[in-house]
A and B are shown apart, each in its own frame.
Chain A
């Protein structure tokens, strides 16, 4: 990813979409619990990118896109919660916390055993775990995206991993001793 779009904004945008649209769609759908609204938010995110004029290096671009995407998702949740208190659908998908329960967004996915167990974690832990292990962001980048402190991100990831380990009783060599409940 070039730092700047130079003379060809269209090619630059195409490349940014190639690299990031999938991850952003996955992220937005999980926050909103709805693929269609996730698509809207992701398109809007790329629009904002065009509007911003670019000027990011590769890592910063990803962080920028996720930050904008997340803010747009939360705007959507806030607005829908405010506007349609009567709408059960919105209450189901957006209410309560920043993130919906994992199974709302991914019930149809073929989840692995650890990621399936992850759905029992609080939404904020799920989010930082995904940002770290699915999107490869550092603690610092995750802090930038979520507005949390780096310490807070470290704590959430640590706690999330500890809880998953308890679930699986993973031993010191990465082996498994079976799932416990």
Chain B
């Protein structure tokens, strides 16, 4: 056998890739001729050098947080499969896994949705294990809320003191990825004036399990609305109406975090949607604790805080984030600093899946999970809070006063935006709802809102 320099067999031989028979043939050729032997040595020399250099290249790592999410999913799968034979949990579909975890009370869910990955597979769901209840019985989070004013179901923060390289910026486009999938139903193009005036569209929970929103929302839009209605007796331009800024202008009576529970209290509640029969509203409320120091400046109690809401596609057919429209969505999900006493409220409108809708949304207790991650300013690692609604959707009239008021503000905002989602909202109806949910209203802001809705000199939109 004669081997030319250009024969790939020589390289394969030099790298030990040939089987015994082939190798023997090459060896025979090498013995007969010096040139292929030198060739083999040269190949090995270069291969050795290349290997040395490539092996010395820096080795990246997943961040500790990324690893924790994956490990927690694995741990939850272990729990979900406990008592079952291994083979029975093979080939689990993710939607089924998510539903099973929610039903099993493993309420923390993480859906990390990035652009550029095909739709049916681009879902990362990582449940955060919740502490095992000391005694058997129904999972505390699945029991009905005792009273609308009952204590907020506060999740247990889980410090993770691993590698400290996990404070990476959230992917800048995650917000839009979460909120503007190409597979969604197209938003109505009715009375669009600019991008910001396009309401977030309905999103199929089967396509997108997760959503996020910003925790530090300003109030400029609400102040502007009041100014033009009260002082100029006209309606604001729809694109100037930012519902999240309206909702978050008001103070809500959220329970602060309990002693030793970390700087943030998170709660999630469900109520029937007052403007669309059969729909359900989800309220997510975050309340930062009050700091110790009174220096005048805002004391930061939490850093790199992000919230992710995940929906169980078995219980929720589709969902819609109210407000946070257009460009705002791009900023959502970025790690934010949270000042002492800060509140954040977000509302989602949900269409229950058909089987969950039976019994007026009673099957919706496992509709969603809210994950908030943050770190302390001292920086001892990422902490996670996971919360799910304390019970099934209550009738709107039975929802907490703060919830009803926020929904009323949202309804008024939809009217001003001439939103395709406003349903049966009317100014008169919003006024009635506002008057029945004024609460203590220490700052007088809620009564100011009601007053605005009574403005006689404004020509309110015609009601259908």
Q: Using Cβ atoms and an 8 Å threshold, which residues of chain A touch B73?
A: 47, 50
* Beta-carbon contact of B74 and A10 below 8 Å: yes
Q: Tell me whether A162 and B6 are in contact in the complex, defined as CB-CB below 8 angstroms, given that A13-B70, A157-B15, A174-B41 are known contacts.
A: yes
Contact with B along A127-170 (1 / 0, CB 8 A): 00110111000110000000000010011011101101100101
* Beta-carbon contact of A174 and B50 below 8 Å: no
Question: Which of B42, B44, B47, B182 contacts A171 (CB under 8 A)?
Answer: B42
Task: Give CA–CA (A132, B44) in the complex, Å.
Answer: 13
Q: Using Cβ atoms and an 8 Å threshold, which residues of chain B touch A133?
A: 47, 50-51, 54-55
* Beta-carbon contact of B86 and A114 below 8 Å: no
Name which of B61-69, B330-338, B378-386 contacts chain A.
Answer: B61-69
Q: Using Cβ atoms and an 8 Å threshold, which residues of chain A touch B90?
A: 52-53
* Beta-carbon contact of A44 and B124 below 8 Å: yes
Name which of B113-121, B200-208, B287-295 contacts chain A.
Answer: B113-121
Q: Tell me whether A165 and B46 are in contact in the complex, defined as CB-CB below 8 angstroms, given that A43-B124, A115-B53 are known contacts.
A: yes
Q: Using Cβ atoms and an 8 Å threshold, which residues of chain A touch B395?
A: none
Task: Give CA–CA (A129, B122) in the complex, Å.
Answer: 30
* Beta-carbon contact of A172 and B53 below 8 Å: no
Interface membership of A40, Cβ < 8 A: yes
Interface membership of A111, Cβ < 8 A: yes
Q: Tell me whether A155 and B8 are in contact in the complex, defined as CB-CB below 8 angstroms, given that A35-B60, A114-B53 are known contacts.
A: yes
Q: Tell me whether A53 and B57 are in contact in the complex, defined as CB-CB below 8 angstroms, given that A14-B71, A47-B73, A112-B52 are known contacts.
A: no
Nearest B residue to A9, CB-CB: B74
Q: Using Cβ atoms and an 8 Å threshold, which residues of chain B touch A23?
A: 59
Q: Using Cβ atoms and an 8 Å threshold, which residues of chain A touch B89?
A: 53
* Beta-carbon contact of A72 and B117 below 8 Å: yes
Contact with A along B249-289 (1 / 0, CB 8 A): 00000000000000000000000000000000000000000
Q: Using Cβ atoms and an 8 Å threshold, which residues of chain A touch B118?
A: 75, 79
Interface membership of A8, Cβ < 8 A: yes
Least CB distance from A58 to B in Å reads 19
Task: Give CA–CA (A143, B57) in the complex, Å.
Answer: 24
Interface membership of B17, Cβ < 8 A: yes
Q: Using Cβ atoms and an 8 Å threshold, which residues of chain A touch B235?
A: none
* Beta-carbon contact of B46 and A168 below 8 Å: yes
Task: Give CA–CA (A80, B50) in the complex, Å.
Answer: 33
Question: Which of A10, A40, A111 contacts B75 (CB under 8 A)?
Answer: A10
* Beta-carbon contact of A44 and B42 below 8 Å: no
Which residues of chain B (65-88) have a CB below 8 Å from chain A?
A: 66-67, 69-75, 77-78, 81, 86-87
Nearest A residue to B89, CB-CB: A53
Nearest A residue to B52, CB-CB: A112
Question: Which of B15, B48, B59, B74 contacts A50 (CB under 8 A)?
Answer: B74
Interface membership of A97, Cβ < 8 A: no
Least CB distance from A43 to B in Å reads 6
- Number of A interface residues, CB 8 Å? 71
* Beta-carbon contact of A51 and B94 below 8 Å: yes
Interface membership of A99, Cβ < 8 A: no
Interface membership of A95, Cβ < 8 A: no
* Beta-carbon contact of A17 and B67 below 8 Å: yes
Interface membership of B45, Cβ < 8 A: yes
Task: Give CA–CA (A161, B71) in the complex, Å.
Answer: 40
Interface membership of A86, Cβ < 8 A: no
* Beta-carbon contact of B61 and A22 below 8 Å: yes
Task: Give CA–CA (A171, B41) in the complex, Å.
Answer: 9
Q: Tell me whether A130 and B54 are in contact in the complex, defined as CB-CB below 8 angstroms, given that A13-B71, A17-B67, A165-B42 are known contacts.
A: yes
* Beta-carbon contact of A25 and B117 below 8 Å: no
Interface membership of A98, Cβ < 8 A: no
- Number of B interface residues, CB 8 Å? 65
Task: Give CA–CA (A40, B63) in the complex, Å.
Answer: 11
* Beta-carbon contact of B74 and A13 below 8 Å: yes
Interface centre among B17, B61, B72, B94 (most CB of A within 10 A): B17
Nearest B residue to A81, CB-CB: B116
Interface membership of B443, Cβ < 8 A: no
Task: Give CA–CA (A165, B11) in the complex, Å.
Answer: 12
* Beta-carbon contact of A39 and B66 below 8 Å: yes
Contact with A along B1-16 (1 / 0, CB 8 A): 0000011111110010
Interface membership of B232, Cβ < 8 A: no
* Beta-carbon contact of A50 and B43 below 8 Å: no
Interface membership of A2, Cβ < 8 A: no
* Beta-carbon contact of A41 and B62 below 8 Å: no
Nearest A residue to B70, CB-CB: A46
* Beta-carbon contact of A161 and B124 below 8 Å: no
* Beta-carbon contact of B59 and A26 below 8 Å: yes
Interface membership of A64, Cβ < 8 A: no
Interface membership of B49, Cβ < 8 A: yes
Which residues of chain B (101-122) have a CB below 8 Å from chain A?
A: 112, 114-118, 121-122
Least CB distance from B15 to A in Å reads 7
Which residues of chain A (3-29) have a CB below 8 Å from chain B?
A: 4-10, 12-14, 17, 21-23, 25-26, 29
Chain B residues within 8 Å of A, Cβ to Cβ: 6-12, 15, 17, 38-39, 41-63, 66-67, 69-75, 77-78, 81, 86-87, 89-94, 112, 114-118, 121-122, 124, 171, 182
Chain A residues within 8 Å of B, Cβ to Cβ: 4-10, 12-14, 17, 21-23, 25-26, 29, 35-37, 39-44, 46-48, 50-53, 72, 75-76, 79-80, 83, 106, 109, 111-115, 118, 129-130, 132-134, 138-139, 151, 154-155, 157-159, 161-162, 164-165, 168, 170-175
Which 9 A-B pairs rank lowest in CB-CB distance, beginning with the nearest? A174-B45, A112-B53, A172-B38, A53-B90, A158-B8, A22-B59, A134-B54, A158-B11, A10-B74
